[in-house]
Amino acid sequence: MILYDNENLEQQRLKDVTGKTLAALEAGIDDEKLVIALEPEAASIFCQYQEDKRASNERSLLNRTGQKYMIIDLGGGTADITIHERQPKGDDKLPLLKELHHAIGDDCGGTQVDNAFMEVLGEILGQKLITLMKKKQPSSYLELLREFETVKRREITNKNYLRIPLVTINELIEELEQENIDNKIKMSKYKNQIKRNREKLCIDDELMKSFFGPTIERIVSLVKDTSKIKAIRDISLFLLVGGFSECKNVLHALKKALPNKTFIVPEEAGLSVLKGAVIFGHKTSIIGSRFMIYSYGTKVFEPFDPELHEMSRKKKAGGRYICPKIFDFIVMKNDSVPVGTTIKREYLTDEPQQNFMDLDLYKSDSELTKYTNEEGCYRVCEAKIDIPDPSEEQRTVEVEYYFGDTEIRMTAVETDSGKSCKTVWKFI
Ligand X SMILES: Nc1ncnc2c1ncn2[C@@H]1O[C@H](COP(=O)(O)OP(=O)(O)OP(=O)(O)O)[C@@H](O)[C@H]1O
Whether the CB-CB separation of 1 and 383 falls below 8 Å is answered with: yes
Ordered DSSP codes for 94-155: --EEEEEEEEEEES--THHHHHHHHHHHHHHH-HHHHHHHHHH-HHHHHHHHHHHHHHHTSP
Whether the CB-CB separation of 105 and 72 falls below 8 Å is answered with: no
- Which has the closest alpha carbon to 165: 192, 128, 129, 218? 129
Q: Please say which residue, 6 or 423, places its beta carbon nearer to Mg ion.
A: 6
- Which has the closest alpha carbon to 425: 408, 415, 416? 408
CA distance 12 to 428: 10
Q: Please say which residue, 75 or 404, places its beta carbon nearer to Mg ion.
A: 75
Count of CB atoms within 10 A of residue 180's CB? Answer: 13
- Residue 247 touching ligand X (CB under 6 A): yes
- Residue 148 touching ligand X (CB under 6 A): no
Within 153-262, residue ranges assigned H as helices are 166-177, 181-187, 205-227, 248-257
**What is the per-residue binding string for Mg ion in 160-199, x denoting contact by CB under 5 A?**
----------------------------------------
To ligand X, the closest distance from the beta carbon of 267 in angstroms equals: 14
To ligand X, the closest distance from the beta carbon of 413 in angstroms equals: 38
Q: Please say which residue, 39 or 204, places its beta carbon nearer to ligand X.
A: 39
**Residue 263: strand pairing partners:** 238
- CB-based closest residue to Mg ion: 75
- Residue 75 touching Mg ion (CB under 5 A): yes
5, 39, 41, 414: which one binds Mg ion (CB under 5 A): 39
Whether the CB-CB separation of 141 and 133 falls below 8 Å is answered with: yes
- Residue 111 touching ligand X (CB under 6 A): yes
- Residue 266 touching ligand X (CB under 6 A): no
**Residue 93: strand pairing partners:** none
CA distance 54 to 302: 58
4, 141, 244, 362: which one binds ligand X (CB under 6 A): 244
Q: Please say which residue, 137 or 215, places its beta carbon nearer to ligand X.
A: 215
How many residues contact ligand X, by CB under 6 A? 18
- Residue 117 touching ligand X (CB under 6 A): no
**What is the per-residue binding string for ligand X in 32-51, x denoting contact by CB under 6 A?**
-------x------------
CA distance 342 to 330: 10
To Mg ion, the closest distance from the beta carbon of 96 in angstroms equals: 23
∠ CA 284-285-288 to the nearest 5 degrees? Answer: 130
Within residues 70-109, the interface with ligand X by CB under 6 A covers 75-78, 109
Q: Please say which residue, 39 or 99, places its beta carbon nearer to ligand X.
A: 39
- Residue 15 touching ligand X (CB under 6 A): no
Count of CB atoms within 10 A of residue 112's CB? Answer: 22
- Residue 213 touching ligand X (CB under 6 A): no
To ligand X, the closest distance from the beta carbon of 263 in angstroms equals: 16
Choose the stretch contacting Mg ion; rule: CB under 5 A; options: 69-77, 164-172, 346-354, 406-414. Answer: 69-77
Whether the CB-CB separation of 354 and 390 falls below 8 Å is answered with: yes
- Residue 246 touching ligand X (CB under 6 A): yes
Could you list the residues that contact ligand X (CB under 6 A)? 39, 75-78, 109-111, 149, 152-153, 242-244, 246-247, 270, 273
Could you list the residues that contact Mg ion (CB under 5 A)? 39, 75
